[in-house]
Amino acid sequence: MSDGRNIKNIALVGFMGTGKSTVGRQLAADLQFRFIDTDELIEEQAGMKISEIFTTAGEPMFRQLEGRLVDELADWENTVISTGGGLIVHPGNLEKLKRHALVVCLWAGPQAIYQRTAHQTHRPLLQGPEPLKRIEELLALREPFYRQADLLVSTELRSVRELATNIAHQFRLAGNNLSDL
């Protein structure tokens, strides 16, 4: 495998509300892989909800926990890893994931993300007074990072079924020759 990469997992990255967990579960079922969600693992390890971690310990502590988890994932295989929306923005995390995973970014525009997240309350970063504006700002800041994924896949107008099938296909190709992607 080129560049010292050993692709044995799939990491789904991308903004909040792009469907990483939903698509990831379908993909894992299709490939008969294990599914994990970094937010869920952090909540289990910390014994607290993400929103509580943000309020009691602060976002920098949450990012530290994410970084620690990324290090632990290096030994895993046959796993679909759904990551929190800010995980690959933190220095080093994307490079570490790429060593063992095909990194696929799920994409959606601000309006679609706003509609998908508007009635949800579990994401501390979107609980302020102007969520759409916040989404636009954060997405613009993060876009250069998301563009460094191996694949960038639009989730608008595509079903979960279609997305999972497409990503599984790309993963099989990557196993044979990543440099062709």
Please list every residue from 106 through 165 that binds ligand S3P, using CB under 6 A.
Answer: 123-125
Toward ligand S3P, which CB reaches closer, 51 or 166? 51
Q: How far is CA 161 from the centre of its chain?
A: 18
The 3-class secondary structure across 118-153, one letter per residue, is CCCCCCHHHCCCCHHHHHHHHHHHHHHHHCCCCEEE
Toward ligand S3P, which CB reaches closer, 9 or 174? 9
Beta-sheet strands, E only, within the chain = 9-13, 34-37, 79-82, 101-107, 151-154
User: Which of 84, 93, 114, 135 touches ligand S3P (CB under 6 A)?
Assistant: 84
Q: Is residue 36 within the footprint of ligand S3P (CB under 6 A)?
A: no
The least CB distance from residue 123 to ligand S3P, in Å, is 4
Residue 30's H or E segment, with its range, is helix 20-31
Compute CA distances 17 → 14, 21, 83, 108, 118, whole Å: 9, 9, 12, 8, 10
Which residues does 181 contact at the CB level (< 8 Å), separation at least 6? Answer: 150, 151, 170, 173, 174
The least CB distance from residue 15 to ligand S3P, in Å, is 6
User: Which of 50, 69, 104, 105 touches ligand S3P (CB under 6 A)?
Assistant: 50
With CB under 6 A, what is the number of residues at the site for ligand S3P?
10
Q: Is residue 24 within the footprint of ligand S3P (CB under 6 A)?
A: no
Q: Is residue 86 within the footprint of ligand S3P (CB under 6 A)?
A: yes
The least CB distance from residue 38 to ligand S3P, in Å, is 7
Toward ligand S3P, which CB reaches closer, 5 or 134? 134
Per the CB < 8 A criterion, the answer to whether 120 and 131 are in contact is no
Residues at the interface with ligand S3P (CB under 6 A): 16, 20, 39, 50, 84-86, 123-125
